[in-house]
Chains A and B, each alone.
Chain A
Amino acid sequence: MGRELLSIEHLTKRYGDLTVLEDLSLTVQEGQVIVIVGPSGCGKSTLLRCINALEPIQGGIIKLDGQEIDRDTKKLPELRQKIGMVFQSYDLFPHLTALDNITLAPIKVQKRKKAEVEAEALQLLERVGLKDRAGDYPRQLSGGQKQRVAIVRALCMHPEIMLFDEVTAALDPEMVREVLDVLLDLAKQGRTMLIVTHEMQFARAVADQVIFLDGGQIVEQAPPDQFFEHPKTQRAQKFLNTFTFETIKNHGGNDYENQA
């Protein structure tokens, strides 16, 4: 693993009296893929939003490449360019075509040449199987297609790290795969990624490290095989159990209650 790219030290995030993240520390090495899992409301999404300074934080320091990410810094737009974020609800700009969605920020923010950016965008679209949809508006695309465009949009900014916030949670099951395949492809290319997901099999396949977040704290951090085969903490065991189903052989009995 390479150098330390992202470091989070003693991060605390509160909404009023409610503490969402408490004294959380985490480092991400260059090229590492970290998957964050945990029950709903455990602070997974909030963690990603804090990294991108979309949420004010109440304590701690977040650094990218040694530079502090602070909501008040003038450098924030510049820092955000290095962080690619993809949200759960495909958040494409509805008034722009897929291609314009992708090229808007590189052209306007990074002041790159239009021809060069468009060429790159088309190349990336081809890679995710959407080259022929470049001229379509978001409303003409399916959920999975929109999400792939959103990923390309983030990629086109050449980010150093990418954050994925439950990018398949709002998709129909048959579209989940096409998006996860794109993420797997990115992992193979050696991209640094932080992925929040509920797809456990995918997590196991893609992660270098799995982080189990519960109650705003990192309860367990381990390589995927270790985490999924032998979770150390009881909370992690309980959480993982919610994803497995035992076959109900006797429909007449009360097995169902025993398992619940």
Chain B
Amino acid sequence: MDIAVIRSYLPLFQEAGWLTLRLGLMGIALAIVVGLICAAVHYWRIPVLNKIVTVYIEISRNTPLLIQLFFIYYGLPKLGIRTNPAACGVAGLAFLGGSYMSEAFRSGLESVATIQRESAMSLGMTNGQTFRYVILPQAMSVSVPPFVANVIFLLKETSVFSAVSLMDLMFTAKDLIGLYYNTTESLFLLVLCYLVILLPVSLLGSLLERRLRYAGFGV
């Protein structure tokens, strides 16, 4: 391994890392919004929408992100919708992540026993108050572990962004290998960059989980 090579590649990887992180976080933020909406639709069993959400979740979870990205990147222009690679990446991640987030939130909401809702209601709470003060806090403690797992999973999934010509970490590494054949250095930097991004997220996640466990949940 050549330190000089690594040093010269570093700025390129840094830039690609920022792109990965930026698009990844934007996609995850959107996925959270989509997930919350879907979980709410399922939780309150809103007619028609409930069915649509189910279909969306099955499609989203049972197709690879790469294929979803191709559909968005090559398919949408055929329908006359102009896009750019970055928007496609974010949209693809939100499409995939939305269903995973929805399931994480839903499992939390459904883990709260019906009697909890009933006793809140019998104390005179409105639906909103019941949700805010009784259901949500309990659901969150159950949802956090799968939520953290999803964030890590989605950040890793950004590695297929290179397929729609986004200059992310993966793209940069492959590009450099193709140009200069410095395989070892490129792959080393690639792994390192992902670790730098993901390890803090992982640690933060375990901290959050432990904090919630100690918060005195569980009957």
Closest B residue by C-beta to A163: B122
Closest A residue by C-beta to B122: A85
| Interchain CB contact under 8 A, B138 and A154 | no
* Contact for B124 among A54, A87, A109, A138, CB less than 8 A: A109
B interface footprint on A26-55 (CB within 8 Å = 1, 0 otherwise): 000000000000000000000000001010
In the assembled complex, the CB of A119 is this many whole angstroms from the nearest CB of chain B, namely 19
How far is B215's CA from A96's CA once the two chains are assembled, in angstroms?
9
| Interchain CB contact under 8 A, B133 and A87 | no
Q: How large is the interface on B (under 10, 10 to 19, 20 to 34, 35 or more residues)?
A: 20 to 34
* Contact for B123 among A54, A80, A89, A137, CB less than 8 A: A80
List the A side residues contacting B215 at CB < 8 Å. Answer: 95
Most buried by B among A105, A137, A154, A157: A105
| Interchain CB contact under 8 A, B216 and A153 | no
A interface footprint on B126-143 (CB within 8 Å = 1, 0 otherwise): 100100011001100100
**A7 CB-CB contact with B under 8 Å:** no
**B180 CB-CB contact with A under 8 Å:** no
How far is B215's CA from A110's CA once the two chains are assembled, in angstroms?
27
| Interchain CB contact under 8 A, A153 and B123 | yes
| Interchain CB contact under 8 A, A81 and B218 | no
List the B side residues contacting A137 at CB < 8 Å. Answer: 216
Interface residues of B in 82-139 (CB under 8 A from A): 113, 115-116, 118-126, 129, 133-134, 137-138
Inter-chain residue pair count (beta carbon < 8 A): 69
List the A side residues contacting B122 at CB < 8 Å. Answer: 52, 54, 80, 83-85
Known: A54-B121, A81-B124. A108 touches B133 (CB 8 A): yes
How far is B62's CA from A245's CA once the two chains are assembled, in angstroms?
62
**A15 CB-CB contact with B under 8 Å:** no
List the B side residues contacting A87 at CB < 8 Å. Answer: 115, 118-119
| Interchain CB contact under 8 A, A77 and B218 | no
Known: A95-B141, A139-B219. A89 touches B115 (CB 8 A): yes
List the A side residues contacting B141 at CB < 8 Å. Answer: 95
Interface residues of A in 103-154 (CB under 8 A from B): 104-105, 108-110, 137-139, 150, 153-154
- Sort A-B residue pairs by CB-CB distance and give the 3 closest, nearest first: A81-B124, A105-B123, A137-B216
Interface residues of B (CB under 8 A from A): 113, 115-116, 118-126, 129, 133-134, 137-138, 141, 215-219
Interface residues of A (CB under 8 A from B): 52, 54, 77-78, 80-81, 83-85, 87, 89, 91, 93-95, 97, 104-105, 108-110, 137-139, 150, 153-154, 157
